[in-house]
Amino acid sequence: MLVHPQFDPVALQIGPVAIHWYGLTYLVAFGLFLWLASIRVGRPPYADTGWTRRDVEDLLFYGVLGVIIGGRLGYVLFYKPGYYAENPLEIFAVWKGGMAFHGGLLGVMGAMALFAWQRKRRFLEVTDLIAPCVPTGLASGRIGNFINGELWGRAADPSLPWAMVYPQSGTDIPRHPSPLYQFALEGLLLFVLLWVYARKPRATGQVSGAFLAGYGVFRFIAEYFREPDSFLGLLALNLSMGQWLCLPMIAAGVALWWWSGRQAASRST
């Protein structure tokens, strides 16, 4: 049975300045996005419609703002609305932690809508461009979660070869290393599937729909191995908050994929 190595969260200390591993994983995520999105704008249909590397850099800036603002507000509204209603100034205390992927997704969508409006691009054209470039960033973030020893999994069979004790949990119960499951599913596997899918011409919106549905399905599965938030536990039907938030995401992704295909078919007839 494995024990979480309890990494020092500080990767480098220079005087009073501390560089955390989690911050470095964000830098890796941003770098991967720049690299992958730059590849995509160099290929059809983006290369044929005037997309440039500068557009990618601007997209990253908009996206970072969307992730930070949306992720924080999503955590506040989805997970601890009562607490933050009583302590509104704590909303700004982002250094204490508390970010939600689904809120970050909504924030990024809002940022991409603003970018599309300013550049006179179609919203779904923009989201189709970035969708295959997002999962590697998610994978990087999950490595950060693992290094920090957070978001540990539910209790696992001690005979499971990779079951892991998280001393941070205050118990010696062997657990699923759920950040690594999410790294593999919603990170690497989703990236490979979307990258391959997006290499062929698709109706505008279908790559975005595939991302929404794919992430929703993989996150829903991973949540069965992730310990629910202690202040929420399991909700109706024994589903976690993360799973309930994934259901509309899956439905929206499937609907968008289907609608986009129908729209393309009607235009071609």
Contact 76, 84 (CB under 8 A): yes
Contact 212, 249 (CB under 8 A): yes
Over residues 263-268, mean pLDDT: 85
Contact 125, 116 (CB under 8 A): yes
Contact 139, 191 (CB under 8 A): yes
Give bridge partners of residue 164 from the DSSP assignment. 2, 175
175's enclosing H/E stretch is strand 174-175
Q: pLDDT digits over 42-89, tens only? A: 999 999 999 999 999 999 999 999 988 998 898 888 888 888 888 888
pLDDT at residue number 57: 96
pLDDT at residue number 96: 67
Gap between the Cα atoms of 91 and 75, Å rounded:
9
Does position 117 have pLDDT exceeding 70, yes or no?
yes
Ligand-binding site membership of 142 (annotated):
yes
pLDDT at residue number 137: 94
Q: pLDDT digits over 5-30, tens only? A: 999 988 888 888 888 888 899 899 99
Residues 6 or more apart whose CB falls under 8 angstroms from that of 85 comprise none
pLDDT at residue number 243: 96
